[in-house]
Amino acid sequence: MTSLIEQLSQIVGDAFVSEGLPAAMGAVQPSDRPDLAQFQCNGALAAAKAAKANPRAIAEKVVARLKANELFGKVEIAGPGFINLNLTDNAIAAWGSDLARDESLGAPETGKGKTAVIDFGGANVAKPMHVGHLRSSVIGDSLQRLFRANGWNVISDVHLGDWGLQMGQLISEIGRRGIAPLYFDVNFTGPYPEQSPVTMDDLEEIYPAASAACKADPERLEEARKATAELQAGRPGYRALWEHFFSVSKVGLEREWGSLGIHFDLWKGEASVNHLMTPMIDDLKSRHITEESDGALVIRVAQDGDKKEMPPLILVKSDGAVLYGSTDLATIVDRVQEQNPDLILYVVDLGQHLHFQQVFRAAEKAGLNGKALLEHVGFGTVNGPDGKRFRTRAGGTMKLYDLIEMAKSEADKRLSESGIGLNYEAEERADIARIVGIGAIKFADLVNYRTSDYIFDLERFTRFEGKTGPYLQYAAVRIQSILRRAEEAGYTVSAPVIRSPQERNLILQLLALHDAMVTAEERRAPNVLCDYAFTLAQTFSSFYSEHHILSESDVELRAARLGLCKLTLATLSKVLGLLGIEVPARM
């Protein structure tokens, strides 16, 4: 369905064309001054500039044509030549009725026929997830939902960190501890046991120990490097151990992401492109894309006009090991072969910006990216009250699991304070706390434009007032309950009508979902959806406080108002859904 704004732009554009001016000048937008008008068009100013003419004169001609169109209740020139537009209530209500019949609630089809790979999550095997991974997961999940809703074919890939030095560190530490000697026995020819010799808890203890040992002792580091190289070269026992690391980590990660309602289409990682590495490197060498530099194989990516130094991408180190950049490059080759996407988004913290610039430039230089546009969707940090990176009280990395638990218990506290669910069964009550707690952290993360840092403040995130997830969840639950009571009473629900400014504003806001979805996609910015949802809830709230709904005695009016409630609920739930936020059945 084309949006209201698109249709208005078409109409005003036609009026410009009739005056011999470009159609693009008829672009309509919501008014900057909603107190003066619903919509505005600034095209006469641009047209006048191009033609060195008087903008008001141009605006007058366009306005004269628009006045003949009965959709408009008011067409006026403001200031130097802005065109202010108001629609008639009949026109708005007719659009509202069309919207109520549209299953997609006006979703755009910007992605029709296009494929996007979204690389997010990015957790590392054997290491617990931290708040940085939370941001990647929450933003990436919202983008996958949004792109899908906009008609894209989306493939999400978790791209696990599973191939670097940390694997060699784990292997050599396990070797030293003598936990699983079979995997180190070069004479053993397999098959290896199906049962993993280590659990996720073991790995979480072994990895930090191994990493600390390597920091303290160069000999241990050398051992870990050697083990990494042997793993990458395919030593069977190491490969078998790696399989175990991967599987036990996957079970844990899947559970953690699952508890957040986040799912991936692909569980690939750095290791899954290992087989592409040698052919890719050979190809790059033969095409003279690579250069030797101090024994390493590199791709130079500096360009004229670079303001900052742009170091080359190191493909193979002097000791033969491949690096993070090499696996990212091979992953592009894999994605082009497997999905041939139009777009690859990397939802990864801003700290990795240079890395992605190097990778993207190298891929483009070598023509590895097919038709895909490569884009780093960066994000800022989550900070503690001191403004520094968020940590545990003891100063350690805050694990995602602990964070979710904290959010649930804070939500539970809030529910008690507000007297919500006091007499519910314990199970339902816990479920509401879970939905509210997770909704609170997701919304608080998404509401900021992604490149800004924010302070983690559960007390604020879980409030039922203000721009929070719980406020929106509560708003949705309230409408649910109105509709439930209407149903119990056997009331009819009809198409919305406009009898008051609040009803008019609410329908206009419902009609704006399409534009919010387009803008959020263009900017890769779920905060646009958060703003939209918040404005919608507020617009509904003023409608609700000014009108009788269930107690309205005029039966037709009651039905129309219930229709507006129904459309608002559908729209609010849809936007919350795009943010990955659930709505409890009751609160």
Tokens of 135: 């941001």
| Binding-residue pattern over the window 292 to 331 for ligand ARG, x denoting contact by CB under 6 A | ------------------------------------x---
Closer residue to ligand ARG in complex, CB, 348/576: 348
Closer residue to ligand ARG in complex, CB, 166/573: 166
In the list 146, 336, 348, 438, the residue contacting ligand ARG (rule: CB under 6 A) is 348
Identify the bridge partners of residue 297 per DSSP, sorted by sequence position: 292, 316
Closer residue to ligand ARG in complex, CB, 254/431: 254
In the list 89, 119, 173, 256, the residue contacting ligand ARG (rule: CB under 6 A) is 119
d(CA 84, CA 64): 13
Angle 89-101/501-511 helices, nearest 10 degrees?
A: 50
d(CA 438, CA 420): 17
Sequence letter at residue 14 = D
Minimal distance in Å, beta carbon 154 to ligand ARG?
A: 16
Closer residue to ligand ARG in complex, CB, 250/574: 250
Measure the CA angle with vertex 352, ends 170 and 357; round to 5°: 125
442 binds ligand ARG (CB under 6 A): no
Minimal distance in Å, beta carbon 523 to ligand ARG?
A: 21
Minimal distance in Å, beta carbon 162 to ligand ARG?
A: 9
Q: For the segment 1-40, give every residue that binds ligand ARG (CB under 6 A).
A: none
161 binds ligand ARG (CB under 6 A): yes
Where b means 16+ CB within 10 Å and e means fewer, 254-287 reads: eebbeebebebebbbbbbbbbebbeebbeebeee
Identify the CA nearest to 547 among candidates 573, 530, 574, 568: 568
339 binds ligand ARG (CB under 6 A): no
Minimal distance in Å, beta carbon 346 to ligand ARG?
A: 5
Minimal distance in Å, beta carbon 195 to ligand ARG?
A: 27
Closer residue to ligand ARG in complex, CB, 257/544: 257
Of all helices (H) and strands (E), which one includes residue 417?
helix 400-417
Tokens of 406: 């904290």
Beta strand extents in 290-342 (DSSP E only):
291-293, 296-299, 313-316
Minimal distance in Å, beta carbon 26 to ligand ARG?
A: 42
**Of 119-127, 252-260, 426-434, 578-586, which part binds ligand ARG (CB under 6 A)?**
119-127
Minimal distance in Å, beta carbon 149 to ligand ARG?
A: 24
**Of 6-14, 78-86, 118-126, 528-536, which part binds ligand ARG (CB under 6 A)?**
118-126
**Of 99-107, 117-125, 198-206, 256-264, which part binds ligand ARG (CB under 6 A)?**
117-125
Cα distances from 563 to residues 191, 412, 535, in angstroms, run 65, 33, 19
The residue count for binding ligand ARG (CB under 6 A) is 8
d(CA 156, CA 344): 10
In the list 122, 252, 470, 563, the residue contacting ligand ARG (rule: CB under 6 A) is 122
408, 410, 412, 416 alpha-carbon torsion, rounded to 10°: -170
In the list 9, 38, 42, 124, the residue contacting ligand ARG (rule: CB under 6 A) is 124
164 binds ligand ARG (CB under 6 A): no
412 binds ligand ARG (CB under 6 A): no
**Of 25-33, 116-124, 224-232, 504-512, which part binds ligand ARG (CB under 6 A)?**
116-124
d(CA 133, CA 379): 11
Identify the CA nearest to 399 among candidates 244, 204, 262, 209: 204
Closer residue to ligand ARG in complex, CB, 95/346: 346
Residue that the structure tokens 């119990």 belong to: 488
334 binds ligand ARG (CB under 6 A): no
Closer residue to ligand ARG in complex, CB, 348/507: 348
In the list 16, 257, 346, 532, the residue contacting ligand ARG (rule: CB under 6 A) is 346
List Cβ neighbours of 509 (8 Å cut-off, separation of 6 or more). 535, 536, 539
In the list 135, 145, 159, 450, the residue contacting ligand ARG (rule: CB under 6 A) is 159
Cα distances from 406 to residues 137, 200, 388, 411, 434, in angstroms, run 18, 22, 20, 9, 10
Of all helices (H) and strands (E), which one includes residue 41?
strand 39-41
d(CA 250, CA 242): 12
Give the interface with ligand ARG as residue ranges (CB under 6 A): 119, 122, 124, 159, 161, 328, 346, 348
